Structure 1
């Protein structure tokens, strides 16, 4: 006897499909089918040349390893689903809140303020905040005077500019203040005698949150658009 000639002969003995006609058909080999197949293989092996113990143990070890991998995949999938649910819950709590992100565009709503910040690379006596309309026209050019090295925080309500918690001495050119709408901010500073535009971070309201297939969060911000959660500098 030459042993099993092909896997088809073993499956004919096993007749997996006829064991449970009500069970859904699957192309995967489960635990019960594997053990049954192994028993059929042992029953049909050549008695003059039986399978070595080491070979048998190796097959069992291989199956055990495969089974553990399947359990690990199942557990990881469950963990991933839980994480996605938690992220969705956290994301929903952000809607309606204000966040600060790297941008030079902001939306001014009635009764609200636009807050922002820049990092001053070196102390300077010449810093200006320029505010442009959506069409690109200069609305205000506000001198804020001397600023020391570090972060400069500002707030603008359409008429008054507050810098590091204090109102500037600048007099607005807009008697009734700027109308609600989209504005662009440009902060210029004289650094080592050279005019330098500083990177701005401005506040924006979260209109909605999108959760990607990989679990990543994207905030859809008013007046800005989609921004990755990882780009948020501050939750206001």
Structure 2
């Protein structure tokens, strides 16, 4: 119960809310601390009212106290993990906020060409290959092949001139290797971060990369320089 009184001054009045002394803070009756306090109260009552000629076994109390201590420890650990998760989300927000205008290499298997720009990236080979071909498949299923020749294991750089290649629209990227090499090499595409979005439902931040579109923050493979103003 609260009461409201008004203190008048020369120019204004201020409402003051007084909390009744009968108000009590709400607590979680199922929390480890509440259950522990309830157990201690019951244990003390049981000890005080036990038969002096046939006292209770003290080891039972010790065992129960140990169980409650374990429950408290687990609950504290869960709270700590939740706090750490919140802190990591906040750090991610602070980190991604400074990415706008910065060049990054992002893991992706698609690009969106505008018919004018040049797009660069790299293919990560885990083993050498006598033939490496980058295929760009448009939404109609048409394939544009970019032969990259024989390549050793490691990163293979590529460049796509969308004007010269007639690229306009969204393309899926595939890598064709020697016969028998049945793995999919990781592809990264370079681009500048245009915007950073923080999902209202939580989770990873989303960055918008020119030529790539929206990708989760964790798909960024490396960071480069800020764009020159």
User: Structure 2 length normalisation: TM-score?
Assistant: 0.57
Residues 116 and 200, structure 1, Cα contact 8 Å, conserved in 2 = no
Unmatched tracts of structure 1, length 5 or more? 1-19, 160-171
Residue 190 of structure 2 is aligned to residue 201 of structure 1? no
Q: 1:86: how far off?
A: 1.9
Q: Distance in 2 between matches of 1:59 and 1:23?
A: 28
- Paired position in structure 2 for 1:183: 171
- Paired position in structure 2 for 1:5: none
Q: Distance in 1 between matches of 2:174 and 2:79?
A: 52
- Paired position in structure 1 for 2:3: none
Q: 1:39: how far off?
A: 1.7
User: What do residues 84-128 of structure 1 show as CA deviations (whole Å, max 9, x unaligned)?
Assistant: 32233334444665433141x21224764322223565454x665
- Would you say how many aligned residue pairs link Structure 1 and Structure 2? 192
Match of 2:159 among 115, 130, 155: 155
Kindly indicate which of the two structures has a greater share of residues assigned to strand. 2
Unmatched tracts of structure 2, length 5 or more? 1-21, 225-229
Residues 106 and 183, structure 1, Cα contact 8 Å, conserved in 2 = yes
Match of 1:79 among 59, 84, 93: 84
Q: 1:154: how far off?
A: 0.9
Q: Distance in 2 between matches of 1:137 and 1:119?
A: 25
CA 52–127 in structure 1, closer or farther in 2 if over 3 Å, else same: closer
CA 81–48 in structure 1, closer or farther in 2 if over 3 Å, else same: same
Aligned-partner SS, 2:162: coil
CA 40–185 in structure 1, closer or farther in 2 if over 3 Å, else same: closer
Aligned-partner SS, 1:24: coil
Q: 1:133: how far off?
A: 4.3
RMSD: 4.3
